[in-house]
Amino acid sequence: MVVKVLVVDDSGFFRRRVSEILSSDPNITVVGTATNGREAIDQALALKPDVITMDYEMPLMDGITSVRNIMQRCPTPVLMFSSLTHEGARVTLDALDAGAVDFLPKNFEDISRNPEKVKQLLCEKVHSISRSNRRGFGTASLTPPAGGSSSRPASVPSTPAPAARSQPSVSQPPVERHAASASAAPKRKAYKLVAIGTSTGGPVALQRVLTQLPANFPTPIVLIQHMPAAFTKAFAERLDKLCKINVKEAEDGDILRPGLAILAPGGKQMMIDGRGTIRILPGDERLNYKPCVDITFGSAAKSYNDKVLAVVLTGMGADGREGARLLKQGGSQIWAQDEASCVIYGMPMAIVKANLADAVYPLDDIGRHLVEACL
C-alpha cells in the first residue's frame, strides 16, 4: 500500500528535502505541503493523508495547536520534528500530549552528512506510524484532568471503563485471545521489581499507567522508553510532576526503592544488580535501541529470578521479547498491553506470539492491576 504524506514546515529547504527523501521511497507519495499550522489543517481535511510530518515553530499557527485541531477534526498519524535540546524535548512531549504518534530530531547536519541514514529512518517511521491504531488518537494525554493526577483514587483508571473492560476483546486475534482469557485477575506476589518497556506511543501509555499508582506503591519500578538522550530527563521530570510516586532519570549508582520509578537514560543502557543498584553503561553501537528493553529485562532476570513483574507496552519492533524470555525462564510474570489500546502493536505482539504473556490487559487496566498484584 502506498502511504500518502502531507509535509508541514515553514522552511522551504526542509519542506523540499523531506519531500525528496520521502518521494525516493516507491511506497510513499507526498500528496501536498503546508507552510503553517492553519494551512496544515486545511490540507489534512482536503487531501486526507495517511501520515503528516509536522514542524513545531511556524507562523500563524504552531505545530502543537495544529495537531490538536487535526486530532479533533480528522484524526491522522502525525510525526513531529523537534530539536535535540531540553526545550525541544519539552515541546515534543507537548506534541505527543496533543496527539502526535512519534517524533524525529530535526538535524540539518545529518541531512547533509548522512542522507541515506536519514532516508532510512524517516521512511521507516512514516511506514510504521501509517499502520498505527487510529482509534486512540486524540484521547490520550500527558496532562492530567483538572485537579491533577494526585486527586484521583490510585486504583481507579484515569479513563472510566466498563466493568468488562479487563476481559479480552472478541475482535482480538486468536493467539492473543487465548493469552488474555487466562488473565482476568493478576497474580499477587511479593515482587522485588516492576520493569516496564515501551517505544512508540510509550510516553502517553506510561503516564496512563503510572498516574494510577499510589505514593506508597511498595515495589521499585524501572522504565525503559526508546527515546534520545536529550529527551529522557525532561520526560522523567514531566512524569514526576504528574504522578504520586517519584520519577527520575537513572544515574549510575541509584538505589531502587519503593515509591520510585527510575527511567533509563536515552543513548545508554541500564542494568540492575542483585543489591538493587542501577548500573548505567555506554550505548553499544551494535544494538539498535539505546536504551534497550532486552538489556534491562535480562539483568533483572539474573538479579531477581522469579521476583520480577515485567510489562511490555505499545511500541514498534520486538525489543523486550528476549529479555522477557529470560525472565519467564526464571519464573517471573510477564504482562502485555492488548492490541486494541496500542498505538503500535509490535512489542506486545512479539511477547504474545512467543507465548510469553501471562496476562494481556487494556492500557487503562494495567495500573489498577499493578496495584492489585503488588499491594
Query: Of 199, 299, 303, 341, which is the active-site residue?
Result: 199
Q: Is 128 a catalytic residue?
A: no
Angle, CA of 213, 184 and 374, to the nearest 5° = 35
Beta-bridge partner residues of 279: 271
Give CA–CA dist 138/141, Å, rounded.
8
Name the catalytic one among 25, 55, 254, 319.
319
Q: Is the dihedral of CA 148, 366, 155, 326 positive or negative?
A: negative
**Residue of 232, 258, 256, 235 lying closest to 245 (CA atoms):** 258
Active site (annotated) includes residue 319:
yes
Query: Exposed (0-12), middle (13-18) or buried (19+): which is 96, by Cβ within 10 Å?
Result: buried
Residues 6+ apart with CB under 8 A from 268: 229, 280, 281, 282, 283, 290, 291
Cβ burial of 169 (10 Å; 0-12, 13-18, 19+) is middle
Establish whether 226 is a catalytic residue.
yes
CA gap 98, 54 in Å, rounded? 12
Catalytic residue (one of 66, 226, 254, 338): 226
Residue positions annotated with a catalytic role: 199, 226, 319
